[in-house]
Amino acid sequence: MPMADETGQVVQLALPMDGKPAQVEPELHRDYVVMLRAGLDLLNARLLLLLALLISAGLWGYTVFDPSPWRFTAACGFNLGVFVPLAILYHRKG
């Protein structure tokens, strides 16, 4: 099936002789799945840490903007209870 590229030249697409898409080897497919899961696990850990960092920054910004003992306590509690454990787990995970 000929097609034209952006320069106007005709390009022939390579398809198998029977017209069916090529089959992926099962071993290769498993490797892709394992690699995808590892990447998503890493992204998941980074995303949680980034979300905690943004919430922490907003909380501390609000605490500095209008200080009160309760806001200071809440900001410290969030950092010690959520952000610090996530950062420790992230660094241990590598």
User: Which pTM does this prediction carry?
Assistant: 0.53
In tens digits, the chain (94 residues) has pLDDT values of 555 556 666 555 555 566 666 665 666 677 778 888 887 877 777 888 888 889 899 999 999 998 899 999 999 999 999 888 888 887 887 6
Residue holding tokens 């390579």?
14
> What count of other Cβ atoms lies within 10 Å of the Cβ of residue 82?
15
**Other C-beta atoms within 10 Å of 52: how many?**
19
- Residue 75, number of CB atoms within 10 A of its CB: 19
Q: Rounded to a whole number, what is the largest CA-CA distance in the chain? A: 75
Residue 55 identity (one-letter amino acid): I
CA distance 79 to 67: 17
pLDDT at 21: 62
Q: Which pLDDT score, from 0 to 100, does residue 92 have?
A: 82
pLDDT at 28: 66
Rounded Cα distance between 38 and 24, Å, is 21
pLDDT of residue 70: 93
